[in-house]
Amino acid sequence: MKSKCLIKLMSGLVATTCLLAPIQASASTVATAKAQPTVAAATVTDQVVKLDSITSRSIANIHDDNNYWHAPYAVEEYTAYVLVENKSYDKTIVLHYIDADGVWKDSEKATYVETRSDGKELWVLHGFVGGNAIFAVNYKEANAWDNNNGLNYRLYNN
């Protein structure tokens, strides 16, 4: 419960917090993090939903009484780009994640960006997680997941 309150408090301090240098997100094996999506080059296979890129940066960190920085309890701001097939008019695309509070939850819904020349749609997710996070991408109406070939994606605060 303290983690949730702390995350809300720290999220509210975003406007006044000194921003740190961007920290690249890492998928446990293959997915590369990029600052902007690669719109021209196809990074999606025949999957219905596929994480195209994700970047994150620490926006607030927790220090103890000895001024020791606790990375797992930082607040990470992320931007993720997702490619999906147009399987339905209404789309609910979310990151399903678990962070420092140990509870699985869904992010806010993605926002449409554009339709690419290959017919895939590019969507963007933007939000905050408390510390290191494990996640997968879910396209609810198509009942489709991208979970990094069963390994899940990981966001690490270095």
Tell me the three-class secondary structure of the chain, residue by residue.
Answer: CHHHHHHHHHHHCHHHCCCCCEEECEECCCCCCCCCCCCCCCCCCCCCEEEEEEEEEEEEEEECCCCCEEEEEEEEEEEEEEEECCCCCCCCEEEEEECCCCCEEECCCCEEEEECCCCCEEEEEEEEEECCEEEEEEEHHHCEEECCCCCCEEECCC
- Model confidence at 12: pLDDT above 90: no
Question: Could you give the CA distance from residue 124 to residue 79 in angstroms, rounded to a whole number?
Answer: 7
Domains annotated on the chain, with CATH: 2-155 (2.60.40.2440)
Q: Which residues contact 78 (CB under 8 A, 6 or more apart)?
A: 25, 54, 55, 56, 125, 126, 127, 128, 129, 155
pLDDT in tens, 61-108: 666 666 665 555 678 889 999 999 998 888 999 999 998 888 999 999
Contact present, 86 and 93 (Cβ < 8 Å)? no
- Model confidence at 26: pLDDT above 60: no
- Model confidence at 135: pLDDT above 90: yes
Of 119 and 44, more confident? 119
Average pLDDT over residues 30-50: 47
Question: Could you give the CA distance from residue 99 to residue 95 in angstroms, rounded to a whole number?
Answer: 12
The proportion of the chain whose per-residue pLDDT surpasses 70, expressed as a percent, equals 61
Of 25 and 85, more confident? 85
pTM of the complete model: 0.65
